Chain A
Amino acid sequence: DAGITQSPRHKVTETGTPVTLRCHQTENHRYMYWYRQDPGHGLRLIHYSYGVKDTDKGEVSDGYSVSRSKTEDFLLTLESATSSQTSVYFCATLTWGEGHGNEQFFGPGTRLTVL
């Protein structure tokens, strides 16, 4: 367990409002990721970070922005939420394993509903 927490765990918001989701980790992992999980799609990468202030886009980045001002925190912002962004959002961090595959640890998820 990489000590990953996400807040809030549940949120209901209205179309057009800004929303920020927070991911906090206590393991000093360099790499952090935001995914969304939707039925029939598995998990899809939104954005990722490879260090403080270093971020890049994933496969479904439109409508999302991220920031990482500290190693432990990775924020995901929906500038103007839309109903298509209703989903479960997972944060993950990466540790480099000795002699085995690089393991991503996942947070518990945030369920976001956009009405």
Chain B
Amino acid sequence: GEDVEQSLFLSVREGDSSVINCTYTDSSSTYLYWYKQEPGAGLQLLTYIFSNMDMKQDQRLTVLLNKKDKHLSLRIADTQTGDSAIYFCAESTGGATNKLIFGTGTLLAVQP
């Protein structure tokens, strides 16, 4: 079945770049997403990438997609303490219902 995997924890220093990785199994994924969850809050969509793209940049965020290896990454440049949160990748095959399959989440801890 569909599966999405992420490493559980990443620690970086403020000002450094963070790279959060994700692998997925469903080759028919149409959209891939990155969500951010701050403590006690719901999920907030950060960015997404369509499966026919290799890269997408949005201000400090860069998403790289290697469709052959089914590998997705999120790079956060100049990481700030406010970036500390859990980051989820999710895949969708699109369609009418747009059901999402989420990874387990990566806790990003930014040290001052």
Contact = CB atoms under 8 A, between A and B. Distances in A.
Interface residues of B, number: 26
A41 B86 CA distance: 13
A11 to B, nearest CB: 16
Contacts of A108: 41-42
Contacts of A4: 42
Given A40-B104, A43-B88, A101-B31, A107 B42 contact: yes
Grouping DSSP codes into helix (H, G, I), strand (E, B) and loop, the B interface class, with mixed when no group exceeds half, is strand
B100 A50 contact: no
Grouping DSSP codes into helix (H, G, I), strand (E, B) and loop, the A interface class, with mixed when no group exceeds half, is strand
B43 A31 contact: no
A74 interface: no
Contacts of A104: 45, 98, 100
Interface residues of A, number: 27
Interface in A85-104: 90, 92, 94, 100-104
Q: Closest 3 A-B residue pairs measured CB to CB?
A: A106-B42, A101-B48, A42-B102
Interface of B: 4, 31, 33, 35, 40-45, 48-50, 88, 90, 92, 94, 96-100, 102-105
